[in-house]
Amino acid sequence: MEIDNWDEYRTAYQVARLRTVSAAAEVLGVHHATVIRHIDSLEGKLGAKLFQRHARGYTPTEAGEDLLTVAAATEDQLTQLAGRIHGRGASVSGDLIVTCLPQMSPLMARTITKYQADNPDIRAELIVDTRPLRLEYGEAHVALRAGAPGDDLDNIVQELAKMPMGLYAHKDYVFRHGPLKGMEDIPNHRFCRMSTLNLRAPFMRWMGEHVPEENVVYKCSDTNTVQDGVIAGAGIGFLPSYIGNAHPDMKEMLPSEQSWSSTFWCVTHVDLHRTAKVHSFVTFLKEEAKGWGDL
């Protein structure tokens, strides 16, 4: 479908963003009747409703939300392009969206805060999610991912760090059940893990291979809830070593093995990789990550 009605898409984007015809008309510098005409025309051409009309304004439908996501990414990329063309590409400012897995959240909070101290014009958003966000649609500028690096040719993938993992239990658990006295003692203990093991994660694969199902007494939806269960004393489980070692009540149950470590990757989209804010943040992030293995 050839797009020959850019003004209508731009109008729909502003209505989806601002939720009222009058606000969109003010931003666009047109009469509100023009906004309504553009919306009606675009919905007719697409054969889908973009908005639910009500007394308080316009609420995007699922199709309208899709338009908002794509248009926002397009606007961001056009803004970056304009900055480069006009020589303002060196400015490190604006919105920076970073996504990471739950177990990375504390490290990323520290990293982003330190980065903003040097770059106060950056407005950061950290999205913690186990699903990979679509960088090509601008859902995030920088992604931290674990496991296989992926083979999307539109993404720039760089190894960031190897995150040591350890097998820990709360001191109250150790008081009640005793320490783990080697591999042969595993059947005598209680364990916490994710409900669905991701066998691409080496520590989860180890858990699946060495801990009998009947000894898993506490299953969780994600790594953060595993951490909560271990800290609550529900059983023995894997935590990032930087969390387990820093917690005063955590006791390491077995010596950490290098094979348990997870490899984390920094992923950026090729269209945004060399923009000032993304390049600046990734450079800072890679330097910070050098010390993560020692925490």
State the fold for domain 6-84.
Arc Repressor Mutant, subunit A (1.10.10)
What pLDDT band is residue 82 in, cutting at 50, 70 and 90? low
Compute φ and ψ for 245, nearest 5 degrees. Answer: -70, -30
> What is the per-residue pLDDT for 89?
47
| pLDDT one-digit tens code per residue, 213-228 | 999 999 998 888 999 9
- Examine the pLDDT at 172 and tell me if it is beyond 50: yes
Q: What is the pTM of this model?
A: 0.62
Between residues 6 and 61, the one the model is more confident about: 61
| pLDDT one-digit tens code per residue, 22-34 | 998 888 888 989 9
Q: Which helix (H) or strand (E) holds 238?
A: strand 237-240
The CATH superfamily label for domain 90-160+263-291 reads: Periplasmic binding protein-like II (3.40.190.10)
Asked if residue 148 lies in contact with residue 119, where contact means CB atoms within 8 angstroms, the answer is no
| Residues in contact with 50: Cβ distance below 8 Å, sequence separation at least 6, in sequence order | 12, 16, 39, 42, 43, 60, 61, 63, 64, 67
Give the pair of three-digit tokens for residue 261.
């470590």
DSSP-H helix ranges across the chain = 6-18, 21-28, 32-46, 62-85, 105-118, 171-177, 202-210, 223-232, 241-246, 276-289
DSSP-H helix ranges across 86-153 = 105-118
Edge to edge, what strands does the sheet with 250-252 contain? 237-240, 165-170, 250-252
For residues 202 and 246, what is the distance between their CA atoms, to the nearest angstrom? 22
Q: Do 6-84 and 165-260 have matching folds?
A: no
Domain spans of the chain, in order of start: 6-84, 90-160+263-291, 165-260
For residues 154 and 276, what is the distance between their CA atoms, to the nearest angstrom? 19
Q: Which CATH architecture has domain 165-260?
A: 3-Layer(aba) Sandwich (3.40)
Tell whether the torsion through CA atoms of 237, 242, 250 and 221 is positive or negative: negative
Task: Classify burial at 228, counting beta carbons within 10 Å of its beta carbon; exposed 0-12, middle 13-18, buried 19 or more.
Answer: middle
Q: Which of 100, 153, 147 is nearest to 127 (CA)?
A: 100
